[in-house]
Amino acid sequence: MQSPHRREISVLFGQLFKWGFLSGFSFLLNIGLLFTIHEIIGLSEEVAFALSLLTVFLANFIILRNYIFKTGESNWKRQFIYFFYSSLCFRIFEYLLFLILHSWFRTYYLLAAIIILGLSSISKFLFYRSFVFRKEFSR
């Protein structure tokens, strides 16, 4: 029989694996939708990108809630509000960090983006797991 600590570690690593898979899926979905909406449907690049971002945002919420953190019985409206505002804050913070690294410290823009997005992804996983999709928190 597994100890509670070992079971928690196992759940954590399972969620991290799924998080990594979701990140790759989200990227491919975003690019695929962007291409389809612009090249096939014929909308402008700006509109296509906005629609693909919105679609991926909603898909991520559903997948995080029901597949990765499995909080389907929790209050989805409260979770969505927390997810929306925390995602907005993360994006603003990512952009500000990019400006600091790239503009002030003259870090190569792709390296700055990789560093920021990598650290942000880990931070988002921990934040979403600990607050937004924690079963006790979102009832």
Is the torsion defined by CA of 7, 10, 16, 22 positive or negative? Answer: negative
- The pLDDT of residue 2 is 66
Q: Does 135 have pLDDT greater than 90?
A: no
Give yes or no for residue 31 having a pLDDT over 70. yes
Give the helix ranges, DSSP H, for 36-137.
Answer: 45-63, 76-98, 109-127
